[in-house]
Structure formats: C-alpha cells, structure tokens
Structure 1
Amino acid sequence: MSYQPHLFPVSAKGVVVRDGHVLLLRNERDEWELPGGKLDLGEEPAECVAREIAEEAGWQVTCGPLLDAWQYHIRDGVDVLIITYGCHVAADADPVVSHEHKEIGLFTEAEVAALRMPEGYKRSIATWYDKLSTRVM
C-alpha cells in the first residue's frame, strides 16, 4: 500500500484594520470571516491576500507580517490550511461587498468576540490589534 498524503487547499487571509475597525465578510455558512481566498499555483501568499481583498471589498492593501497558520476543519472531508497576514489600507471609501459574500462589515475589537466565526480568525485579529497597538507611530 502506497502513502497517500492529505490534500487540502491553502487559503490566504488578511486582517485589515482601519480606524480601529476590522474588515469582515459573512459567508454562505453564515459565519464571519477574514477577506482572502484560495492560493493559486505559483502565487505568493501575500500577493493572493492583496488580490482577494481588492476583489472582495474593493480595497487596495499592503501586506505586513504573517500572523498565524492553522488547519480549519469545515466539515467531514473539507479541510483548509489558513494563513493570515496583517494588512495596511489607505482607502477612505467604504468597502463594497462582492458577489462572493452575503454581507460586509467593519467591527471593533470588542465586537469580534461575539461574532460567529472560527477561533483561528479571532486569534489572528487579536494578534494584529496587539501588534498595531505596540507600533511606534
């Protein structure tokens, strides 16, 4: 019997905080999630995050540091490797929801705790808020 490795997609996500509010999208499972998406072959994860956020919210971002990596078990037979980056945005315009999501929103750090979303996303959001609060301006 030959070895059969587990195969699952990689999804690169961005934590974008503007004016103290984090950008989140509500998906088809009625969960809030970070913007981002499936990594294409040959694509750098940070490039994927910037492309996906532009597509999903209409914002141009610059990726900062890698925040976390974790395996998300969505349901039986569906697992995804999630990698998250802290992102910087200079957009003044409101984000615009794409056809890929039900809703888009900006939430305070305190509001995130009560949202229906995977704990890994909440951990990444908390890490980025912490890094932003300790930055020298």
Structure 2
Amino acid sequence: MTMPELKHIRAAYRVSVKGLIYEDGKLLFVRERSDTWDLPGGGLEHGEGIAEALRRECREELGAEIEITNAAPIIIPTWSKKFDIPVLIIAYQVRLVSPPTTTPDVSELRYIGADELGQVKLDSTLSAVIDQFYI
C-alpha cells in the first residue's frame, strides 16, 4: 500500500472499559434509557487511565465503588453500530465495594445468566462477543 492510499484508511476507534461483576454465575448488566442492556462501563476520556475510567464509569452508572480483582483484562475487538466505528473492549473482573443502585444514567440493574441472554436485547457492541465474558 502506498502512502497516498493510507490517507483513506479510517483509523479512528473507540476504547471502552467494562466491569465484569459476577453473582452466582450471572453478570451484572445496566439498562440506560433505551431498551438495550450493557455491561457497566464506557469510553475513556482523553488522558484518562483505564482503571481510572472504569472506576469513574461504575460510580456514574452504579453509584458504587469497585475494586479490580483480576489484573489481566479480557480484550476484545468488536464494532459499534451506534457510532459506526470499531471498538476495543477492555473488561476487568471487579468486585463491588458498595451496593449498586440506579442512577440518573441507568434506569435498571439486573444480573443476567448466559441462559437468559436470548430474552434480553444487548448493546450492539456486546451481542457478538458476550459469551467470552461468562466464566
């Protein structure tokens, strides 16, 4: 590929951090104002570290503090239909330090088992890769 061809390659992508919060083999999901479910977390802000972003997102979405319990993240490339760009999900196992609650950003919290995934509508970035998060 020549340099002029490189100008047309779309290099933008979104980095999203997610918290994997398990209870009895189920994962904690959040439902924002839409009808889709997502793992707690969100995009990194400019200059923000990954762990810092995950803690901030969990405070915003769960009203709770977390502790990262596994230093090795699960890293998965996927696609966001919402933003029409590639997304790199960086997911860490975390433990809730305080109880979660709904917040202005989240209308509902729910632990969902792998056998229940067909009954809920997942965020487009998760739908193809969600099975990789169940342990």
TM-score norm. by structure 1 comes to: 0.72
Counterpart of 1:3 in structure 2 is 7
CA RMSD, Structure 1 to Structure 2 (Å): 2.8
Residues 1:79 and 2:85 are matched in the alignment = yes
Gaps of 5+ in 2: none
* Contact map agreement 1:112 1:122 (CA 8 A) in 2: no
Gaps of 5+ in 1: 131-137
Distance across 2 between alignment mates of 1:112 and 1:59 = 25
1:70 to 47, 67, 77: 77
Counterpart of 1:27 in structure 2 is 32
Counterpart of 1:48 in structure 2 is 53
Aligned CA distance change for structure 1 residues 101 and 72 (closer, same or farther; 3 Å): farther
Q: What code does the residue aligned with 1:108 have?
A: G
Deviates more, 1:118-127 or 1:4-13: 118-127
Question: What count of residue pairs does the alignment treat as equivalent?
Answer: 128
The structure with the largest alpha-carbon Rg is: 2
* Contact map agreement 1:25 1:101 (CA 8 A) in 2: yes
* Contact map agreement 1:16 1:89 (CA 8 A) in 2: yes
Distance across 1 between alignment mates of 2:133 and 2:13 = 26
Deviates more, 1:97-106 or 1:115-124: 115-124
Aligned CA distance change for structure 1 residues 127 and 7 (closer, same or farther; 3 Å): closer
Post-superposition Cα deviations, 1:78-111, rounded to whole Å, max 9, x if no partner, equal: 3251413232214463x21221233221223322
Give the superposition deviation at 1:62: 2.5
Identical residues among aligned pairs (%): 23
SS in 2 for 1:70: strand
Give the superposition deviation at 1:122: 5.5
Runs of 4 or more, structure 1, over 4 Å off, are 122-125
Counterpart of 1:88 in structure 2 is 94
